[in-house]
């Protein structure tokens, strides 16, 4: 039976290990491969990136072997933009297209107006970053109040916000793979901003909404994983 690699890009402030628990819930043919970014986890000694294009280019070179076998890309929030850029960079290297791209929890690359309006182009202070985390409602209050833990987390988070804030959309030929968008009903991205992902591919497009806010992928994890499996099962059989 054909195995399929699911390359998972981490979201703001989260390590690649966030996706690791998915392995015990997903079918064995779907191999979850969290992508570790420079400056975190086992790569803590490497400098953090604040340039999305440079980061995607580096990751493409590192993931070239994984992309030589059937694979799909998934990213949430910042990770969705990074997965999108990675798909283009892998294509530029001559790699096969992913069987699918899953963009979760963020507006399309051409519809970033609400995000740009938050002035993420400049480094945020510690207080501003903690305020952003509190607004996203994905971090327990006791964690936000832990000064020692925050001192370890905030430099990575600051770099991630700069990755988003300085992101510049580049006009390129649309991708050829199916593009599936997953959104939270109470998240900040509007239906129009999510639908705008449609123009980024010549392949099939779908938009599926889930209960919850920005972190619906954790709040309703089983529903999300069922949707991933349903989308990838027929693609895996035809790979």
pLDDT tens string 142-157: 877 888 888 778 888 8
**Tokens encoding 219:** 């709040």
Give exposure, 129-149, as e/b (b: 16+ Cβ within 10 Å): bbebbeebebbeeeebeeeee
The rounded distance, in Å, linking the Cα atoms of 4 and 49 is: 28
How would residue 15 be classed by pLDDT, with cut points 50, 70 and 90? low
3-class SS shares of the chain: helix, strand, coil, % to 5: 45, 15, 40
61: Cβ contacts below 8 Å, ≥ 6 apart: 93
Q: How many residues does the chain have?
A: 239
pLDDT tens across 23-50, in order? 999 999 999 999 999 998 889 899 999 9
The rounded distance, in Å, linking the Cα atoms of 139 and 133 is: 6
Quick check: 182 pLDDT over 80?
yes
Quick check: 14 pLDDT over 80?
no
**Domains of the chain listed by start with CATH number:** 4-109+171-238 (3.40.50.1820)
pLDDT tens across 96-125, in order? 999 999 999 999 999 987 665 456 667 778
- Report yes or no: 212 and 220 within 8 Å, Cβ to Cβ: yes
Hey, which residues are catalytic here?
77
Mean pLDDT, to the nearest integer, of 118-139? Answer: 74
Its pTM stands at: 0.90
């Amino acid at each position: 039976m054909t195995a399929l690699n699911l390359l998972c890009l981490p979201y703001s402030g989260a390590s690649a290990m966030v996706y690791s628990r998915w392995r015990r819930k997903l079918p064995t043919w779907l191999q979850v491969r969290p992508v570790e970014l420079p400056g975190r986890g086992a790569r803590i000694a490497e400098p953090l990136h604040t340039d999305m294009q440079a980061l995607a280019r580096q990751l493409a070179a590192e993931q070239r072997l994984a992309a030589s076998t059937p694979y799909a890309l998934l990213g949430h929030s910042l990770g969705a933009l990074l997965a999108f850029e990675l798909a283009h960079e892998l294509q530029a290297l001559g790699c096969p297209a992913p069987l699918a791209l899953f963009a979760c929890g963020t507006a399309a690359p051409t519809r970033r107006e609400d995000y740009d309006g938050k002035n993420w182009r400049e480094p945020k202070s510690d207080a501003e970053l903690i305020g952003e985390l509190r607004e996203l409602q994905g971090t327990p209050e006791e964690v936000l109040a832990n000064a020692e833990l925050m001192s370890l987390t905030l430099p990575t988070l600051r770099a991630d916000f700069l990755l988003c804030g300085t992101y510049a959309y580049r006009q390129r030929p649309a991708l050829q793979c199916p593009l599936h968008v997953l959104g939270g009903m109470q998240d900040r991205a509007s239906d129009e901003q999510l639908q705008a992902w449609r123009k980024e591919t010549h392949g099939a497009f779908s938009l599926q909404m889930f209960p919850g806010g920005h972190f619906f992928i954790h709040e309703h994890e089983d529903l999300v994983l069922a949707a991933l499996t349903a989308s990838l099962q027929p693609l895996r059989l035809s790979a």
